[in-house]
Amino acid sequence: MRAFLITRCIYFFKRFCLVLSVGFMLCYNLYAFDRLTEEEWHYTYNFCMQNNANACDYLIDNGLVGPQECLDKQCEIVGMIYTLAGRHDEALAYFEKLCESGNVASCGNVGDIYYFHLHDYFRARDFYERSCKQKNSASCYGLGIMYGNGEGVRQSFDKEDNFYKQACNGKEPLGCYNLGVMYQQKTDMKNHLSIAKEFYGKACDYGYQSGCDKYREFNEIGIK
């Protein structure tokens, strides 16, 4: 594996946590009302969202709607609960249902599970490709990782570069950052450090502190 590549595991978790903004009553409708009080559900759910697997297991053990019964946002939340509990095979059913219904982000979630947890790179590639074609920048980044490492695909640095650029254009900061690293290493290319600095700056603009740090380093040594 190329040493400079940045893992998406943290981004995988953060992407799931975006659903915390959903209304509480929607969350409450995910489970059997006769097993937990509203207060117990809310308290345990918050612990689950802090990556507490025991809390997630407790919610699961007390009854959650199945993939056939859940509505769109409900499927996403229940899939997240199973994922944070480490029960990735069960989470897949929820995200695959959403993916088949046209939810592009969920196709990326399926790809993440196959890539990070089940290590089925060929299935991961299929779902990342489907999601990236629909402009999901995180999935384009995932394809960049796979082409750089030759995981489930023939290794191709040109395709790695292309998918990182698609990701960066979609404001995925890790795509921009990895482009910065790649161009920093292109010692045979004119102005390669200036181009690298530009990509580090974009990673910073899109919320990745390491991009800010690299931009500052380049700035302090006079790279324009």
- Whole-model pTM: value is 0.81
Say if 71 falls within a structural domain.
yes
Predicted local distance difference test score (pLDDT) of residue 86: 94
Q: Give the chain's residues under pLDDT 50.
A: 1-28, 32-33
Per the CB < 8 A criterion, the answer to whether 145 and 112 are in contact is no
Q: In whole angstroms, how far apart are CA 190 and each of 1, 74, 186?
A: 27, 51, 9
Say if 163 falls within a structural domain.
no
Predicted local distance difference test score (pLDDT) of residue 8: 47
Q: How many domains does the chain have?
A: 1
Say if 82 falls within a structural domain.
yes
CATH of the domain at 100: 1.25.40
Say if 23 falls within a structural domain.
yes
Which residues span the domain enclosing 99?
9-135
Residue bearing tokens 């089940």:
118
Say if 40 falls within a structural domain.
yes
Six token digits for residue 208 = 């990745």
Query: d(Cα 17, Cα 59) in Å, to the nearest integer?
Result: 17
Say if 26 falls within a structural domain.
yes
Taking only the tens place, the pLDDT of each residue in 173-199 is 999 999 999 999 987 778 899 999 999
Query: d(Cα 167, Cα 155) in Å, to the nearest integer?
Result: 18
Say if 200 falls within a structural domain.
no
Predicted local distance difference test score (pLDDT) of residue 30: 58
Say if 22 falls within a structural domain.
yes
